Structure 1
Amino acid sequence: MNEEITLSFEQAMKNLEEIVEKLEEGDVPLEQAIVYFQQGMNLSKICHDKLQHVEKQMEQILLEDGEIKPFILDEDGGES
């Protein structure tokens, strides 16, 4: 999906919020509502995929000595 590559997470979220606002207004014809819904689902998937990619990057931290260890947050919100 080319759109996934070109859209930033923030832009995808902004577009998704705009679609939600349009659908919440309730005066959208059924056919257009379906189109908006499909676009929203695609944007939701883009955001989810981008978040998963970042999460995988964050799972590992490069230590000062070059070793890699899993990134785990303790319950206080700090890094362990």
Structure 2
Amino acid sequence: MAEKTFESQMERLEEIVRLLEKGEAPLADSMKLFEEGTKLSAALGKLLDKAEQKVSVMQESAQGELVEQPFHAEEAGK
């Protein structure tokens, strides 16, 4: 089985949320959906963390050259 993309996993999570918000599924089905959603949420969080680690910011050095610097999420929010 091919690995699911971030986008396809996000779409499934959104679908699960919609189904649970409707409140029409029997309790057993709702529990299964909730469990699947929890697993997807954790997997998506890991993918986002991994992507954040790969992000870098290019800064200009004193000599005018671009230098790759690690991305710091805390500083990006400022």
**TM-score after normalising by structure 1:** 0.71
Matched-pair identity in %: 30
Unaligned runs of 5+ in 1: 76-80
How far off its partner does 1:61 sit?
A: 5.1
1:12-62 Cα offsets, whole Å, 9 max, x none, are 10000000111111111000000000000011011101000000011x457
Alignment correspondent of 1:71: 71
How far off its partner does 1:7 sit?
A: 1.4
Task: State the alpha-carbon separation in 2 of the partners of residues 8 and 46 from structure 1.
Answer: 11
Q: In structure 1, which of residues 20, 24, 33 is the aligned counterpart of residue 21 of structure 2?
A: 24
Task: State the alpha-carbon separation in 2 of the partners of residues 33 and 74 from structure 1.
Answer: 36
Q: In structure 2, which of residues 48, 51, 56 is the aligned counterpart of residue 54 of structure 1?
A: 51
Amino acid at match of 1:20: V
Alignment correspondent of 2:62: none
Amino acid at match of 2:69: K
Q: In structure 1, which of residues 28, 33, 37 is the aligned counterpart of residue 34 of structure 2?
A: 37
Structure 2 residue 6 is matched with structure 1 residue 9: yes
Task: State the alpha-carbon separation in 2 of the partners of residues 43 and 57 from structure 1.
Answer: 21
Residue aligned with 2:20, SS: helix
Task: State the alpha-carbon separation in 2 of the partners of residues 27 and 71 from structure 1.
Answer: 44
How far off its partner does 1:68 sit?
A: 4.5
**TM-score after normalising by structure 2:** 0.73
Residue aligned with 1:27, SS: coil
